[in-house]
């Protein structure tokens, strides 16, 4: 097996019968050809696509071999991770017999020290976003058993997604320095009572705008969620998509403007040369046979004069060149929805209207937009102004002396110290926190993520004298690093208590 | 023997099939498929993608297993292993060409040592094996579920536990085999099975080849596999030259602990065979090592058992029997006297605890070597019946050569070990032993040992509530009735503690107190300590200084300095502040008291009390 660096692949389990559309390598050995063919059929996506087939098959073979092997002892949960001297292989089975595997190279020198669960969250996010726009992989495979349709969709989608991790020619994945972040969760804006009433009133106005369509609304300020009427899972997915492609920060950076502050991905700037990475490397997939929508394609969203966000990702109407309204699938209801986005300064409003209830299609959307402009725009301006006034800026959620991450697993919500503040921590503290989180992840996985999660408290004084603390109670987790040297365990505990009382409604307090 | 072992053997929880009992017939069809599939997935890739290295063929290997046993490669060991045994050997032909002794005339049958300690083990281990092997899964589950209610303490668990291989009739097609909580496998780099904790090695040839395929496949890619995680299961790999060791466990122990256990398993094999066995693989990659380990099942099962009760296996330190300093010094003086006459290490042991240990070498005996040696001696019945002179190798001392151990039991628990490099030293060491025995009897050391055993170890109940008491306060001040070692818990909710001196490589562990009264609870605490230790000493981030951990079971406090480590377990409702105070008190409030209450629990003959005091200069914060 040749050396491999970072690879991400999706394979499917044995037992699927379909023909490969992948071009076979020229192999002289006649016996080998059918076998290679069978093996290649399993690969739905592989990056880097230019890796020689034998090497690709090696990775697939090892992954599949270990999935089968581990099922001997653990039939209910097959292989989750392989830790080797130089690589980690992280596994995720998003749908029965569909496997995603990420292979990362470990290196102390390049700071490539990862937390398995953080890497798995990337795989989860890819899959969640994929099904939001394209439906499940299994449904796609059923639709076209040849697999070509699935491969085309996966390839363009994942490659578009991965461009966000590209720095130059290298992928930069979340490492130990991101141990005070939680991908796959929503970050909320804290609003005062008065603003909350205004927001509530806006939500009501949006509801009446959508009238009888049983639509949903999501409101964001900057990269933070203000309000949602969706389920937590759907909110998380839509929030992820918005902060990747829709919020004012993203739009301004992709249109060539200076990158503004990002709560989520500070410093991640889009490099235009990567925009067509998917198209370039997809050339050998013959995807021209399929019409592939690329919701994650960079630079495709822009703000129209009327304040609505427009894109031609979903195509344009024949004749008048008006872009088709984007559609997506809700995970909870499995309904197909129109996505209608409006932006005013820092405020982004997303409306989701069931396709089935919009009988006159695009015409209905146009009239909905018109209604919104006429009836709700004043409210929107007012709310934006109010929120902007109360907004503390980049370091709004900084708590002096603390570097923290607070996760509410039940609501998929997290809050953390601003990235700029976390970077002031030493490498030792962050490595220690990374390890503590790895241990807590393991405990959680072993508890099978049941509702009756145990209470847990870990306070470690690391060798650099920093206190690295993890507390978990009733689905909530709090991680804190205190770097004040020469402080005692009791001092650290008291500090946590204060933090819990003040910022977590006492969730982590003793009494 | 057979009926006794099945009824009274203390079951190791690891034996117990994990998880809910599944229908045995379920998945059996898929089992055969699974192994074939993995073989196909890995090996066919290896073959067909131009990696044309040799792939172990299950069928071929199995054949070779049967035919190669008696072939010449095993004789390599025979010639390399010093043959110094005296007396008659009762070995079967299978259990080792190398154990055939060159006969030396010895006067009187009673003074003839066994040719090797485990030679006589065949009866015991096979007897146990057949007894336990007959247990079906349900019976086994019953016996293990009852253990939790017996109120047995760990040391009685040790004494009741019967070594020997279990479930010999199982193989990888049995659901019960798959559900065992912790497997250990040893195989050669060509995929031949060498050892399996459960089941029949020969029947596991196909499974062994699969493990080999996984390891080799990753190695062919220029990497080395360490760990595979799947749900609650971990598969841990360790490659030691031509020998591959694998642990498959769902015990939730940390990876580092399991890896350490594989290291010890390898060390135990080296202790029996030396590392020169590797040369046999160099000459013949398909060399079959299984016969060389014949009759050692009890040694390995005892080692696996120690992984669930003996802190030495993760602390890498040894523990001593509590004794008055004068008693220990008397024992040390005579051992020191003997060690000047060609003895490399001399040790007086009480079960796994050291009474006194002296060495002529500057290098102290590594605690792992001591653990493996004690395990080897303790698990071999024949050493108990007569004085013995056995070749053994200390892996950390010199993994390539044999030393010779003179072993003699003074009573059922107390034994003497004299290690020499001279293969002709039996009679000299016998004389030494007679001298030692005389001194020990005269100075009442042996009776003091018995008294210490009956009194038990340190009790947390005896920890003073106020820091006025001098050291020694944790000991029983007056003899307590025999085997009443379960206490009621110490001040501040203290349930248990372990103190390890870094300079001395020794640890002390308190007696278990209520509510850690049964084996299940003790094992749970042991595992919690294991996790705590692994977390404190993580390769990338450790060693940490302090850790406070609270979950539904305990409050754990760990404190690591350059001089010592303290692990303490409290009631989960214990107050943090008082837990810290108790830890400080355990250690000694005043500088002159630092750790002195542990003085009687350490073998400090060569360090001197001044060194010992130097250990004690910190305070938990």
CB-CB under 8 Å, A76 with B228? no
Q: How open is the CA angle B19-B22-B23, to the nearest 5 degrees?
A: 170
Cα distance between residue A246 and residue B238, in whole Å: 49
Give the contacts of A19 (CB within 8 A, at least 6 positions apart): A41, A145, A146, A147
CB-CB under 8 Å, A54 with B546? no
Greater pLDDT, A228 or A167: A228
Give residue B106's pLDDT band: very low, low, confident or very high (50, 70, 90).
very low
Q: Return the pLDDT at A18.
A: 24
pLDDT tens digits for range A57-86? 888 899 999 999 999 999 999 999 999 999
Do A386 and A318 fall within a single domain? yes
Do A101 and A58 fall within a single domain? yes
Grouping H, G, I as helix, E, B as strand and the rest as coil, residue B222 is: coil
pLDDT tens digits for range B180-213? 999 999 999 999 999 999 998 889 999 999 999 9
Question: Directed axis angle between helix A116-134 and helix A148-162, to 10°?
Answer: 130
Give residue B14's pLDDT band: very low, low, confident or very high (50, 70, 90).
low
Give the contacts of A465 (CB within 8 A, at least 6 positions apart): A483, A485, A486, B545
The yes-or-no verdict on residue A238 having pLDDT over 60 is yes
**Which residue(s) pair with B193 in the sheet?**
B187
pLDDT tens digits for range B255-271? 999 999 999 999 999 99
Q: Return the pLDDT at B87.
A: 34
The yes-or-no verdict on residue A473 having pLDDT over 50 is yes
* Inter-residue contact B89 to B101 (CB < 8 Å): yes
CA distance B172 to chain A (A): 9
Percent of chain B with pLDDT over 90: 48
pLDDT tens digits for range B300-341? 999 999 999 999 999 999 999 999 989 999 999 999 998 888
Average pLDDT over residues A411-420: 94
CA distance A50 to chain B (A): 17
Give residue B29's pLDDT band: very low, low, confident or very high (50, 70, 90).
very low
Encode burial over B596-614: b for 16+ CB neighbours within 10 A, e otherwise: bbbbbbbbbbebeeeebbe
Do A210 and A239 fall within a single domain? yes
Which tokens in the block code for residue B58?
Answer: 């299950």
Q: Return the pLDDT at A145.
A: 87
Give residue A291's pLDDT band: very low, low, confident or very high (50, 70, 90).
confident
Residue A508 maps to a domain: no
- Return the number of other C-beta atoms located less than 10 Å from residue B154's C-beta: 23
Do A458 and A485 fall within a single domain? yes
Overall domain count for chain A: 3
Q: Return the pLDDT at B18.
A: 57
Give residues 219 to 238 of B whose Cβ lies within 8 Å of A. Answer: 220-233, 235
pLDDT tens digits for range A120-154? 999 999 999 999 999 999 999 999 888 889 999 99
Residue A283 maps to a domain: no
Greater pLDDT, B11 or A487: A487
Residue A108: phi, psi to the nearest 5?
-70, -35
Q: Return the pLDDT at A453.
A: 63
Grouping H, G, I as helix, E, B as strand and the rest as coil, residue A111 is: coil
Q: Return the pLDDT at A445.
A: 83
Percent of chain A with pLDDT over 70: 84
Average pLDDT over residues A198-210: 93
Name the range with the highest mean pLDDT among B70-74, B556-560, B609-613. Answer: B556-560
Q: Return the pLDDT at A318.
A: 72
Do A445 and A484 fall within a single domain? yes
Greater pLDDT, B54 or A460: A460
Strands B414-420 and B494-501: unpaired
Residue A273 maps to a domain: no
Greater pLDDT, B91 or B600: B600
List C-alpha distances in Å: A86 to A89, B224, B452.
10, 8, 51
Give residue B37's pLDDT band: very low, low, confident or very high (50, 70, 90).
low
Q: Return the pLDDT at B295.
A: 86
- Strands, DSSP E only, in B465-527? 494-501, 506-509
Q: Return the pLDDT at B82.
A: 40
CA distance A80 to chain B (A): 5
List C-alpha distances in Å: B219 to A414, B43, B224, B349.
41, 13, 5, 43
Strands B414-420 and B403-409: antiparallel
Q: Share the mean pLDDT of chain B.
A: 74
User: Chain A residue with minimal CA distance to B251?
Assistant: A446
Give residue B492's pLDDT band: very low, low, confident or very high (50, 70, 90).
confident
Q: Return the pLDDT at B563.
A: 86
DSSP string, B232-268: TEEEEEEEETTEEEEEEE-S---HHHHHHHHHHHHHH
Residue numbers in B near A493 (CB within 8 A): 548, 576
Residue A88: phi, psi to the nearest 5?
-115, 135
CB pairs under 8 A between A and B: 185
CATH 3.30.450.30 domain residues, chain B? 318-364+383-454
Cα distance between residue B24 and residue B170, in whole Å: 13
The yes-or-no verdict on residue B148 having pLDDT over 90 is no
* Inter-residue contact B547 to B558 (CB < 8 Å): yes
Residue numbers in B near A488 (CB within 8 A): 621
User: Is 1.10.40.50 the CATH number for B456-614?
Assistant: no
Q: In terms of Cα–Cα distance, which of B579, B150, B3, B114 is closest to B385?
A: B114
Name the range with the highest mean pLDDT among A420-424, B141-145, B476-480. Answer: A420-424
Q: Return the pLDDT at B38.
A: 62
The yes-or-no verdict on residue A302 having pLDDT over 60 is yes
Cα distance between residue A93 and residue B216, in whole Å: 26
Cα distance between residue B473 and residue B471, in whole Å: 5
pLDDT tens digits for range B348-384? 999 999 999 998 767 889 999 999 999 999 999 889 9
Q: How many residues does chain B have?
A: 621
Average pLDDT over residues A324-346: 93
Q: Return the pLDDT at A9.
A: 67
pLDDT tens digits for range B277-286? 999 999 999 8
Residue A87, domain CATH? 3.30.450.50
Give residue B547's pLDDT band: very low, low, confident or very high (50, 70, 90).
very high
Q: Return the pLDDT at A316.
A: 80
Q: Return the pLDDT at B596.
A: 57
Cα distance between residue B97 and residue A346, in whole Å: 83
Q: Share the mean pLDDT of chain A.
A: 84
- Strands, DSSP E only, in B512-586? 546-550, 555-560, 564-570
Residue numbers in A near B542 (CB within 8 A): 463
CA distance B288 to chain A (A): 25
* Inter-residue contact A460 to B246 (CB < 8 Å): no
Give residue B613's pLDDT band: very low, low, confident or very high (50, 70, 90).
very low
Residue numbers in B near A70 (CB within 8 A): 228, 230-231, 233, 235
Give residue A427's pLDDT band: very low, low, confident or very high (50, 70, 90).
very high
CATH 3.40.1840.10 domain residues, chain B? 456-614
Do A230 and A204 fall within a single domain? yes
CB-CB under 8 Å, B220 with A68? no
CB-CB under 8 Å, A74 with B223? no
Give the contacts of A213 (CB within 8 A, at least 6 positions apart): A353, A354, A357, A358
The yes-or-no verdict on residue A192 having pLDDT over 60 is yes
Do A246 and A334 fall within a single domain? yes
CB-CB under 8 Å, A432 with B221? no
Q: On the CB side of A506, how many CA atoms lie within 13 Å of its CA?
A: 2
Do A433 and A380 fall within a single domain? no
Percent of chain B with pLDDT over 70: 65
Name the range with the highest mean pLDDT among A265-269, A484-488, B116-120, B410-414. Answer: B410-414
Mutate which of A73, A114, A492 to test chain B, going by most B C-beta atoms within 10 A? A73
Q: Is B217 on the interface with A (CB under 8 A)?
A: yes
Give residue B54's pLDDT band: very low, low, confident or very high (50, 70, 90).
very low
Q: Return the pLDDT at B150.
A: 34
Q: Return the pLDDT at A275.
A: 42
Residue A276 maps to a domain: no
CB-CB under 8 Å, A490 with B230? no
Q: In terms of Cα–Cα distance, which of B267, B245, B522, B528 is closest to B374?
A: B267
CB-CB under 8 Å, B235 with A58? no
CA distance A451 to chain B (A): 15
pLDDT tens digits for range B384-437? 988 999 999 999 999 999 999 999 999 999 999 999 999 999 999 999 999 999
Query: Which class does domain B2-309 fall in?
Result: alpha beta
Q: On the CB side of A177, how many CA atoms lie within 13 Å of its CA?
A: 16
Which tokens in the block code for residue B582?
Answer: 């108790």
Cα distance between residue B384 and residue B172, in whole Å: 36
The last residue of a domain, from among A176, A202, A233: A176
Residue A274 maps to a domain: no
Q: What is the dihedral of CA A367, A369, A375, A378, to 10 degrees?
A: -160
Residue numbers in B near A4 (CB within 8 A): 221
User: Chain B residue with minimal CA distance to A492?
Assistant: B621
Residue numbers in A near B618 (CB within 8 A): none
Cα distance between residue A317 and residue A155, in whole Å: 26
Q: In terms of Cα–Cα distance, which of B358, B431, B187, B438 is closest to B288?
A: B187
The yes-or-no verdict on residue B226 having pLDDT over 90 is yes
Do A382 and A441 fall within a single domain? no
CB-CB under 8 Å, B227 with A83? yes
Residue numbers in B near A465 (CB within 8 A): 545
Q: Return the pLDDT at A282.
A: 46
Element of type H or E holding A63? helix A53-73
Grouping H, G, I as helix, E, B as strand and the rest as coil, residue A287 is: helix
Name the residue facing A1 among B220, B231, B545 (closest C-beta).
B220
Residue numbers in A near B246 (CB within 8 A): none
CA distance A470 to chain B (A): 9
User: Chain A residue with minimal CA distance to B576?
Assistant: A490
* Topology annotation, domain B318-364+383-454: Beta-Lactamase (3.30.450)
The yes-or-no verdict on residue A336 having pLDDT over 90 is yes
CA distance A280 to chain B (A): 27
Greater pLDDT, B21 or B587: B587
Residue A428 maps to a domain: yes
* Full domain range(s) for residue A311: 193-255+299-390
Do A103 and A202 fall within a single domain? no
Q: Return the pLDDT at B503.
A: 87
Residue A284 maps to a domain: no
Q: Return the pLDDT at B464.
A: 59
Strands B564-570 and B193-196: unpaired
Handedness of CA A198, A204, A206, A209 (dihedral sign): negative
Residue A429, domain CATH? 3.30.450
Do A166 and A242 fall within a single domain? no
Name the residue facing A35 among B48, B230, B580 (closest C-beta).
B48
Q: In terms of Cα–Cα distance, which of B505, B558, B498 is closest to B532?
A: B558
Do A386 and A333 fall within a single domain? yes
Residue A216 maps to a domain: yes
CA distance B582 to chain A (A): 14
Q: Return the pLDDT at B64.
A: 32
């Amino acid at each position: 097996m040749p050396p491999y660096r970072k690879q991400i692949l999706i394979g499917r389990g044995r037992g699927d019968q379909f023909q490969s559309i992948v071009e076979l390598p020229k192999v002289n050995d006649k016996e080998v050809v059918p076998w290679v063919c069978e093996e290649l059929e399993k690969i739905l996506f592989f990056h880097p696509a230019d890796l020689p087939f034998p090497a690709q098959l090696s990775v697939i073979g090892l992954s599949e071999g270990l999935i089968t092997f581990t099922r001997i002892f653990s039939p209910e949960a097959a292989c989750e991770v392989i830790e080797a001297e130089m690589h980690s292989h992280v596994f995720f089975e998003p749908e029965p017999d569909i496997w995603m595997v990420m292979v990362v190279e470990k290196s102390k020198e390049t700071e490539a020290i990862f937390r398995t669960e953080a890497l798995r969250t990337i795989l989860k996010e890819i899959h969640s976003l994929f099904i939001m726009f394209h439906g499940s992989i299994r449904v796609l495979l059923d639709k076209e058993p040849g697999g070509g349709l699935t491969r085309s969709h996966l390839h363009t989608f994942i490659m578009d997604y991965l461009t966000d991790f590209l720095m130059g020619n290298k992928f930069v994945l979340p490492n130990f320095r991101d141990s005070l972040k939680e991908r796959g969760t929503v970050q909320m804006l804290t609003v005062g009572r008065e603003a909350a009433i205004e927001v509530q009133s806006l939500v009501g106005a949006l509801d009446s705008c959508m009238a009888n369509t049983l639509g949903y609304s999501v409101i964001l300020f900057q990269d933070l969620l203000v309000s949602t009427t969706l389920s937590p899972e759907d909110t998380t997915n839509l929030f992820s998509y918005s902060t990747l492609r829709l919020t004012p920060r993203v739009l301004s950076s992709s249109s060539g403007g200076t990158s503004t502050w990002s709560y989520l991905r500070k410093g991640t700037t889009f490099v235009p040369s990567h925009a067509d990475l998917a198209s370039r490397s997809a050339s050998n997939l013959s995807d021209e046979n399929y019409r592939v929508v690329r919701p994650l394609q960079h630079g495709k969203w822009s703000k129209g004069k009327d304040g609505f966000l427009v894109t031609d990702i979903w195509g344009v109407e024949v004749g008048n060149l008006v872009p088709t309204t984007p559609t997506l699938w809700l995970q909870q209801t499995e309904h197909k929805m129109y996505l209608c986005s409006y932006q005013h300064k820092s405020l982004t409003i997303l409306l989701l209207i069931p396709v089935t209830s919009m009988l006159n299609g695009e015409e209905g959307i146009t009239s909905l937009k018109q209604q919104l402009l006429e009836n709700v725009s004043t409210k929107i301006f007012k709310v934006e102004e109010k929120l902007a006034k109360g907004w503390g800026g980049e370091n709004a959620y900084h708590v002096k002396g603390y570097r923290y991450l607070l996760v509410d697993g039940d609501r998929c919500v997290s809050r953390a110290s601003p990235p700029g503040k976390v970077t002031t921590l030493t490498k030792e503290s962050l490595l220690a926190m990374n390890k503590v989180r790895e241990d807590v992840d393991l405990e959680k996985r072993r508890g099978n993520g049941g509702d009756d999660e145990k209470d847990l408290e870990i306070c470690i004084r690391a060798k650099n004298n920093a206190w690295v603390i993890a507390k978990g109670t009733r689905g909530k987790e709090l991680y804190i690093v205190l770097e004040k040297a020469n402080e005692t365990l009791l001092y650290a505990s008291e500090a946590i208590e204060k933090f819990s009382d003040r910022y977590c409604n006492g969730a982590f307090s003793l009494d | 023997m057979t009926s006794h072992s099945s009824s009274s053997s203390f079951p190791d929880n690891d034996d117990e099939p994990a998880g809910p009992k599944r229908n045995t017939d379920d998945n059996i069809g898929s089992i055969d498929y699974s192994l074939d599939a993995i073989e196909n997935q890995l090996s066919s890739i290896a073959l067909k993608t131009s990696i044309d290295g040799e792939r172990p063929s299950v069928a071929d290997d199995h054949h070779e297993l049967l035919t190669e046993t008696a072939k010449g490669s095993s004789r390599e060991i025979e010639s390399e292993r010093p043959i110094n045994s005296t007396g008659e050997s009762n070995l079967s032909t299978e259990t080792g060409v190398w154990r055939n002794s060159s006969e030396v005339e010895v006067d009187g049958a009673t003074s003839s040592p066994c040719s090797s300690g485990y030679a006589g083990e065949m009866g015991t281990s096979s007897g146990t094996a057949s007894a336990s092997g007959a247990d079906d899964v349900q019976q086994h589950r019953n016996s293990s579920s009852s253990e939790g209610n017996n109120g047995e303490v760990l040391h009685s668990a040790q004494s009741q536990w019967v070594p020997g291989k279990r479930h010999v009739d199982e193989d990888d097609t049995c659901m019960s085999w798959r559900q065992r909580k912790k497997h250990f496998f040893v195989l050669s780099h060509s995929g031949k099975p060498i050892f399996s904790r459960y089941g029949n090695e020969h029947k596991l040839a196909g499974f062994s080849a699969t493990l080999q395929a996984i390891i080799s496949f990753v190695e062919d890619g220029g990497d080395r596999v360490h760990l595979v995680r799947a749900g609650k299961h971990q598969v841990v790999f360790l490659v030691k030259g031509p020998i591959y060791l694998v642990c498959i466990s769902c015990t939730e122990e940390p990876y580092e602990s399991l890896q350490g256990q594989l290291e010890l398993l390898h060390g135990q094999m080296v202790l029996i065979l030396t590392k020169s066995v590797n040369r046999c693989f160099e000459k013949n990659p398909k060399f079959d090592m299984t016969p060389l380990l014949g009759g050692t099942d009890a040694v390995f099962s005892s080692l696996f058992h120690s992984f669930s009760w003996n802190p030495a296996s993760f602390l890498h330190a040894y523990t001593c029997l509590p004794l008055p300093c004068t008693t220990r010094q008397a024992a040390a003086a005579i051992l020191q006297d003997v060690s000047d006459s060609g003895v490399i290490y001399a040790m007086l042991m009480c079960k796994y605890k050291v009474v006194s240990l002296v060495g002529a070498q500057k290098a102290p005996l590594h605690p792992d070597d001591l653990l493996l040696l004690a395990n080897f001696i303790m698990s071999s019945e024949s050493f108990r019946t007569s004085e013995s002179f056995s070749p053994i190798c200390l892996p950390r001392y010199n993994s390539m050569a044999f030393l010779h151990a003179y072993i003699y039991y003074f009573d059922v628990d107390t034994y003497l070990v004299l290690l020499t490099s001279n293969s002709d030293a039996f009679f000299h060491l016998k004389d030494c032993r007679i001298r030692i025995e005389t001194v020990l009897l005269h100075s009442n050391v042996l009776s003091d040992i018995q008294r210490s055993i009956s009194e038990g170890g340190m009790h947390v109940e005896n920890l003073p509530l106020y820091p006025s008491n001098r050291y020694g306060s944790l000991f029983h001040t007056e003899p307590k009735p025999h085997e009443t070692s379960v206490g009621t818990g110490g001040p501040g909710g203290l349930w248990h503690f372990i103190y390890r001196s870094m300079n001395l490589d020794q640890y002390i562990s308190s007696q278990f107190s209520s509510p850690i009264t049964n084996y299940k609870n003790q094992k749970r605490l042991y595992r919690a300590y294991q996790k705590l230790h692994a977390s404190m000493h993580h390769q990338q981030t450790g060693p940490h200084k302090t850790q406070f951990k609270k979950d539904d079971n305990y409050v754990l406090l760990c404190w690591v300095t350059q001089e010592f480590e303290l692990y303490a377990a409290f009631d989960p409702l214990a107050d943090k502040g008082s837990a810290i105070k108790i830890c400080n008190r355990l250690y000694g409030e005043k500088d002159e008291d630092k750790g002195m209450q542990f003085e009687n629990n350490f073998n400090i003959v060569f360090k001197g009390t001044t060194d010992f005091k130097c250990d004690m200069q910190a305070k938990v914060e």
